[in-house]
Amino acid sequence: MDHGYETDRVDKVAEPDRRAFTYLMLSSVRFLYASSARAIVIKLLGNISPAADVLAMAFSEFELQDMEYGKSLTVTWRGKPMFIRRRTQAEIDVERAVPMDALRDPESDEDRVIKPEFIVVLAICPHLGCVPLADAGNYGGFFCPCHGSHYDTSGRIRQGPAPLNLEVPPYQFIDDYTVQIG
């Protein structure tokens, strides 16, 4: 009978120091793997998340209490010009009375505003990217002098080559007279 197995065998009871060393080494390697994986995940998340200056430009707040009725304010958000107009009740009534079939890009005034008194639009003409003039044009709203597009006080295209209305950015009112764009 062959007894080689019994003679070459390491006696587990006789060598507890070796077993402790093995457990220590396995635990150390597992700890290093876990630490390395954590460091890699933190670096990846750090590279994916936006920079502080980008986050600062994501939202802009504007105080509108001192605006005159019937006038527009030009502000910048994310490096783009924006028009904020405080409309009179007469302007609101005129815009709400416009039939949808008279508009090239049909969109009701109620769908474009949160508060009827204020309209917030991106001040870039959708035709070729020009910046329109506020408080101008045949409809008293905005006028793009580059190609002659006329917008009403709701920012809807009424005359000229522009195919779409002025874009309404995401915005909300924090209180009665403070708007947050973004």
pLDDT attached to residue 6 = 63
- Do 96 and 81 contact (CB within 8 A), yes or no? no
Measured distance CA(175)–CA(61) in Å, rounded:
11
Both structure tokens of 175: 């209180």
Asked about 150 being catalytic, the answer comes back as no
Catalytic hit among 3, 127, 147, 150: 147
More confident residue, 8 or 135: 135
Q: How many CB atoms lie within 10 A of CB 174?
A: 10
What is the b/e burial string over 98-133, where b = at least 16 CB atoms within 10 angstroms of the residue's CB? beeeebeeebebeebbeebbbbbbbbbbbbeebbbb
pLDDT in tens, 26-82: 899 999 999 999 999 999 888 888 777 777 777 888 888 888 888 888 888 888 899
Q: What is the mean pLDDT of residues 115-127?
A: 89
Measured distance CA(30)–CA(22) in Å, rounded:
12
Residue 107 to residues 54, 59, 85, 178: CA-CA distances in angstroms? 32, 26, 18, 25
pTM for this one?
0.67
